[in-house]
Amino acid sequence: ISFNSVDSSLSSLKNCQSYINTGMEIATHVALDLVESFNDVEDVNSMENVMLEYAAMDRELNHYMTAIEETVNQIKREKPENIPDLKYLVNEKFTALESKNTDSDLQKNEKYIYFKDQVKEMRKQFCHQSDNDNEAIEQIDEDIAVTQSQMNFICPITQMEMKRPVRNKVCGHTYEEDAILKIIQTRKQQKKKVRCPKIGCSHADVKGSDLVPDEALKRAIDSQNKQ
């Protein structure tokens, strides 16, 4: 049995997945724009709903690809004399996978988690000024928040303001992207693990795969520099 057409279909489905990923990245950027320009919470929540819809599409696509791959592997193992009904077998496996769906699955989607984290950070960076009614308290809080933010703008490796900050998903600390990647590469050649460069952090195995762009922090730095 030739599976060339099946392989071609799988390749097309993977392309669809890249479109979903792009859509999720755009939705995240739009949400950050909304927070930065102090739009209504409802507008940001609508983008969160878009993210959940994308996550549902991603899950459905993953299930369908898994169903195809499992069916093909099963046929290769069993080597039946007659060509089986591929469409029926795939749909059977797909339905079984979909029947286990829960709402919590969508909230575990990596890009949705990133979205929530970045929106939360963005609100911290840009909304601290509007939280107090008393002007004097507000000014003091603002000064403290700005000082703390400026400290957060400094890379623990280069001791300079970050241009492309990345956040470590494990310990939550941020570094200049090029600086941390250089350390990881050097240590890899030496076959050694990388300890988080942030003073006091106990995380002793920083990996490149744990680093994500910190768009919220980058925007806060850019905004501060414009002022």
User: Which of these CATH numbers, 3.20.20.70, 3.40.190.10, 3.30.40.10, 3.30.1490.20, describes 165-225?
Assistant: 3.30.40.10
Q: When comparing pLDDT for 83 and 156, which is higher?
A: 156
Q: Give the pTM.
A: 0.76
Q: Where are the alpha helices (DSSP H) in the chain?
A: 4-36, 41-78, 86-98, 103-107, 110-126, 135-152, 177-189, 215-226
DSSP code of 3? -
Q: What pLDDT, on the 0 to 100 scale, is given for residue 1?
A: 58
Strands 174-176 and 211-213: unpaired
Average pLDDT over residues 191-197: 95
Residue-level pLDDT at 84: 84
